[in-house]
């Protein structure tokens, strides 16, 4: 019995490690996507777009593994809730990959032009760094179940919301001179970074709830 329990524990740990790996993957992807859009790097954009399927496959395999564990181990309710939460986290992480992918598609759409006017590069550079930071911290939260760090992520998200507001203010300012098409691109880009961070917050809230039984 002790042996069976230990195999099960190993399986749970391996699910958790896969979530960490997936989170680190999508952290790398948003970093590259930001680089692609700031430097109009078509090759890098194509690489990100092509790699989206590997993130989708990773999530698909992980979900199949989780369901297989439930089928074989018939876990008690608390472990079952943790496994159901793992399914939800993998869906959030996969969506973060999609958001990076969407950024890369705008790089490709506007290449060789830049989708982002020069004076807004600092905002997107900051958005990219903040998104990467929040994803890296989320990977730590999944791996360590550190609830203080989970709460910090809420504040990191405020930083992204603030950058997002700065972006929208720049677009609707009377002196905006880059036309509507650029404004449409930047509205979508801003939304992608905001959603990327929202999903990271969602993951860290799920960890917080699993550990404490309370909502963050």
Contact set with a copy of itself (CB under 8 A): 63, 66-68, 70-71, 74, 76-77, 80-81, 84, 87-88, 91, 168, 171-172, 176, 180-181, 183-184, 187-188, 191
Judged by CB, which is closer to a copy of itself: 75, or 143?
75
Judged by CB, which is closer to a copy of itself: 50, or 64?
64
| Closest CB 194 distance from a copy of itself, rounded Å | 11
| Closest CB 137 distance from a copy of itself, rounded Å | 24
| Closest CB 181 distance from a copy of itself, rounded Å | 4
| Closest CB 133 distance from a copy of itself, rounded Å | 25
Judged by CB, which is closer to a copy of itself: 14, or 176?
176
b/e code 127-149 from CB counts within 10 Å (16+ = b): bbebbbbbbbbbbbbbbeebbeb
Q: How far apart are CA 45 and CA 37, in angstroms?
A: 8
| Closest CB 146 distance from a copy of itself, rounded Å | 25
């Amino acid at each position: 019995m002790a042996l069976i329990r230990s195999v099960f524990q190993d399986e749970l740990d391996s699910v958790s490690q896969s979530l960490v790996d997936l989170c680190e993957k999508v952290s790398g992807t948003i970093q590259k996507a930001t680089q692609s859009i700031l430097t109009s790097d078509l090759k890098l954009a194509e690489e990100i777009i092509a790699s989206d399927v590997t993130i989708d496959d990773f999530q698909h395999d992980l979900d199949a593994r989780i369901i297989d564990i439930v089928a074989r181990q018939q876990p008690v309710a608390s472990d079952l809730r943790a496994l159901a939460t793992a399914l939800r986290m993998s869906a959030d992480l996969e969506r973060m990959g999609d958001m990076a992918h969407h950024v890369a598609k705008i790089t490709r759409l506007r290449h060789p032009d830049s989708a982002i006017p020069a004076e807004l590069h600092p905002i997107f550079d900051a958005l990219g760094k903040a998104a990467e930071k929040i994803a890296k911290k989320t990977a730590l939260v999944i791996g360590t179940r550190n609830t203080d760090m989970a709460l910090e992520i809420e504040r990191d998200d405020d930083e992204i919301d603030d950058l997002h507001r700065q972006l929208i203010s720049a677009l609707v300012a009377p002196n905006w001179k880059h036309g509507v098409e650029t404004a449409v691109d930047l509205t979508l880009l801003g939304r992608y970074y905001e959603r990327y961070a929202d999903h990271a917050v969602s993951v860290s809230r799920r960890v917080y709830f699993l550990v404490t039984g309370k909502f963050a």
